[in-house]
């Protein structure tokens, strides 16, 4: 079972990982503090594979890559939101951390619902309500990076392919 | 033909570029600061390893590393991180390393930002560089690390929103009040993925520091960049600030040329009054008349938004010969050593200290809640910062209000939110 944790509009990077929790030598520890002040219950009870459902402008604010890193190491499988802030979106893509855009999910999914997400197809199923959704497809260029498993792997693939002009 | 954004990318790539295109660009500068450089260095090593190239910066002279977020370090982990970064700088002989102020102020005042440049930084307020007609944008440490290694990054050329500003500020109203108004009008995600291009007679009249205040906060409505066409003021500002690799004349001055703007917003500033962004988002904007009298525990004047000489001058003129409320912790942090020294020569530092302010060394100060004014639960701050997010300055139960240096200075005296226009009348 993948539990949905619900967050509002405009969740900012200071909330995802407040500045005073980093820098630290072992970034994996940031997972423990992810969203800890905004949603202490989430911080305490989250399970590996759980899903965050957010509103619009998720991840707004600073460019700190510690925010998606904290989410990644919190064990969350993916974030489904109405929309994402630009730098956060790009950071997630670069790290290969899955994010999905789905407007209806925010309106119709309740915290605690049991959710299945197929990251490859973008299909989202709410087992609690029985409803199904399709996430917006990623832009073509972004999809290539995601398929490669992040920006560094993408560049490696590009360098290995015949067409190395772009790197 | 294009928006200023499109024209800058077109000039750089030597062909006509349109919004929506994905382009790879060789960057003019790559900036990273103390809290993000180490992750960028690790990303550089990883990507170099994967690409089978030597793990070193491709263009050391294009990299600028100012320490500012926690300067000097406030704990052992931070000291260790900064030492590791310094060892990297030493090893690779990176020429541009600073410990003398906020990264964006350093970039601009030391001539690392030129009109027409394309620059990325490991900080969301890299959009400040648009004040000089450069396309600056914030990115994460993986992108910055890749740029260290390859000198390049990719962009989706953004669509532009035109912000047309006319009229003249009343006494006591400033660029900060205008940008707060613009952000609340567009909404905190009103310009996501877009460029904001500021234009109009009011912008033409603005000084470079005022333009920096505007462009600095473009990110607060989600924008990728905030841009103002370079003009004579830009060229004048850069006189004597340019470094060995840049030449204003060669770069030329790029202008928008009949571009297509996705949206246009018109602002007449003549009727604008001082604005206060209330907790915990910039959408929650009120004219000062609605929040006057609110008790303050802390006032902070500084940051990349409003820590320049001109900002300190406004504050000093209000604080001259006065005392701040003794229970309102009042912190003043010049944005750079250059600003600090100039303010000192003008007697502003003495005015602040005589007024009972705590004057700290140049840097980001308490803006990120890690030192020099971290706030407790229940405390209320008024600051010249760019963000009032919950928990940003310390406890998530602290409240952050944003305003201009004039509002902050007048309010520090009273210990409560005060309209600077009223103080002046007294």
Nearest to A155 among B50, B126, B188 (CB): B50
Same domain, B130 and B86: yes
How many CB atoms lie under 10 A from the CB of residue A50?
19
Tokens of B54: 């030597």
ipTM of the complex: 0.92
- Asked if residue B56 has pLDDT above 50, the reply is yes
* Mutate which: B85, B140, B369, vs A, most A CBs within 10 A: B140
Interfacial A residues in 96-125 facing B (CB < 8 Å): none
**Residues carrying CATH 3.20.19.10, chain A:** 4-135
Q: How far is B53 from chain A (nearest CA, A)?
A: 11
Same domain, B46 and B187: yes
Tokens of A89: 């979106």
Identify all chain A residues contacting B38, using CB atoms and an 8 Å cutoff.
23
Same domain, B175 and B295: no
Which distant-in-sequence residues (6+ apart) come within 8 Å of B120 by Cβ? B27, B30, B31, B126, B136, B137, B138, B139, B143, B144, B147, B153
> Could you tell me where the DSSP H helices lie in B34-158?
37-51, 76-91, 103-109, 141-150
- In a 3-state reduction of DSSP, which class is residue B98? strand
Tokens of B140: 């994460």
- Asked if residue B426 has pLDDT above 90, the reply is no
pLDDT category, A64, cuts 50, 70, 90? very high
Cβ atoms of A78 and A5 closer than 8 Å: no
Same domain, B323 and B398: yes
Over residues A123-142, the pLDDT tens digits come to 999 999 999 999 998 888 99
Q: What pLDDT score was predicted for residue B245? A: 46
What mean pLDDT is predicted for residues B110-121?
A: 95
- In a 3-state reduction of DSSP, which class is residue B13? helix
Task: Tell which of B235, B267, B299 closes a domain.
Answer: B267
What mean pLDDT is predicted for residues A139-148?
A: 90
Over residues B320-340, the pLDDT tens digits come to 999 999 999 999 999 999 999
Q: How far is A128 from chain B (nearest CA, A)?
A: 31
Q: What pLDDT score was predicted for residue B246? A: 46
Task: Tell which of B267, B289, B310 closes a domain.
Answer: B267
Number of domains chain B contains: 2
Nearest to B188 among A15, A57, A63 (CB): A57
Interfacial B residues in 256-285 facing A (CB < 8 Å): 281, 283
pTM for this structure? 0.95
Identify all chain B residues contacting A23, using CB atoms and an 8 Å cutoff.
35, 38, 77-78, 81
Tell me how far apart the alpha carbons of residues B311 and B317 are, in angstroms, rounded to a whole number: 10
Class of domain A4-135 as given by CATH: alpha beta
A60–B222 C-beta distance less than 8 A: yes
- Looking up residue B148, the CATH number of its domain turns out to be 3.30.499.10
Q: Which of A136, A128, A97 is nearest to A16 (CA)?
A: A97
Tokens of B259: 């571009």
Same domain, B64 and B41: yes
**What mean pLDDT, rounded, does chain B reach?**
95
Domain hosting residue B297, numbered range: 276-425
Identify all chain A residues contacting B193, using CB atoms and an 8 Å cutoff.
86
Cα atoms found within 13 Å of the Cα of residue A18, Cβ hemisphere only = 20
Same domain, B95 and B238: yes
* Mutate which: A64, A92, A146, A155, vs B, most B CBs within 10 A: A64
Task: Tell which of B217, B245, B267 closes a domain.
Answer: B267
């Amino acid at each position: 079972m993948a539990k949905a944790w619900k967050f509002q509009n405009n969740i900012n990077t200071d909330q995802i990982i407040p500045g005073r929790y980093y820098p630290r030598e072992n970034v994996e520890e940031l997972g423990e503090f992810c969203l800890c002040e905004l949603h202490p219950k989430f911080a305490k009870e989250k399970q590996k594979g759980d899903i965050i459902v957010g509103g619009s402008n998720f991840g707004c604010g600073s460019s700190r890559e510690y925010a998606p890193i904290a989410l990644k190491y919190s064990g969350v499988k993916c974030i489904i939101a109405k929309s994402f802030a630009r730098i956060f979106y790009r950071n997630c893509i670069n790290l290969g951390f899955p994010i999905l855009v789905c407007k209806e999910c925010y309106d119709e999914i309740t915290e605690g619902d049991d959710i299945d997400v197929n990251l490859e197809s973008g299909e989202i199923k709410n087992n609690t309500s029985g409803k199904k959704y399709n996430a917006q497809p990623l832009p073509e260029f972004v999809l290539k990076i995601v398929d490669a498993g992040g920006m560094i792997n993408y560049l490696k693939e590009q360098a290995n392919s015949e067409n190395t002009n772009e790197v | 033909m294009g928006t200023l954004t499109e024209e800058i990318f077109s000039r750089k790539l030597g062909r006509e570029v349109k919004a929506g295109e994905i382009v790879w660009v060789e960057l003019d500068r790559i900036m990273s600061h103390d809290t993000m450089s180490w992750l960028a260095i690790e990303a550089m090593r990883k990507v170099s390893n994967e690409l089978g190239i030597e793990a070193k910066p491709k263009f050391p002279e294009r990299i600028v590393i100012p320490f500012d977020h926690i300067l000097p370090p406030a704990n052992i982990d931070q000291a260790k991180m900064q030492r590791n970064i310094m060892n990297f700088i030493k090893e690779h002989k990176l020429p541009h390393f600073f410990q003398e102020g906020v990264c964006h102020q350093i970039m601009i005042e030391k001539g690392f930002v030129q009109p027409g440049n394309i620059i990325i930084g490991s900080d969301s307020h890299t959009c400040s560089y648009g004040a000089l007609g450069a396309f600056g944008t914030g990115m994460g440490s993986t992108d910055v690390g890749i740029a260290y290694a390859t000198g390049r990054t990719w962009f989706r050329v953004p669509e532009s929103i035109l912000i047309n500003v006319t009229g003249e500020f009343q006494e006591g109203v400033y660029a900060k009040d205008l940008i707060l108004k613009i952000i609340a009008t567009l909404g905190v995600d009103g310009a996501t993925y877009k460029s904001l291009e500021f234009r109009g007679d009011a912008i033409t009249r603005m000084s470079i520091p005022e333009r920096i205040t505007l462009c600095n906060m473009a990110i607060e409505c989600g924008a990728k960049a905030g841009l103002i066409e370079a003009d004579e003021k830009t060229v004048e500002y850069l006189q004597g600030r340019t470094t060995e690799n840049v030449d204003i004349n060669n770069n030329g001055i790029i202008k928008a040329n009949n571009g297509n703007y996705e949206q246009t917003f018109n602002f007449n500033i003549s009727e604008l009054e001082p604005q206060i962004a209330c907790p915990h988002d910039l959408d929650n904007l009120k004219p000062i008349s609605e929040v006057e009298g609110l008790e303050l525990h802390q006032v902070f004047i500084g940051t990349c938004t409003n820590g320049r000489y001109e900002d300190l001058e406004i504050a000093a003129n209000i604080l001259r010969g006065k005392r701040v409320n003794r229970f309102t912790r009042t912190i003043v942090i010049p944005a750079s050593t250059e600003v600090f020294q100039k303010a000192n020569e003008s007697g502003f530092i003495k005015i602040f200290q005589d007024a009972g302010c705590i004057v700290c060394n140049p840097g980001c100060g308490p803006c990120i809640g890690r030192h020099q004014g971290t706030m407790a639960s229940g405390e209320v701050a008024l600051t010249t910062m760019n963000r009032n997010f919950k928990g940003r300055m310390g406890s998530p139960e602290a409240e952050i209000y944003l305003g201009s240096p004039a509002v902050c200075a007048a309010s520090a005296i009273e210990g409560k939110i005060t309209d600077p226009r009223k103080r002046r009348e007294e």
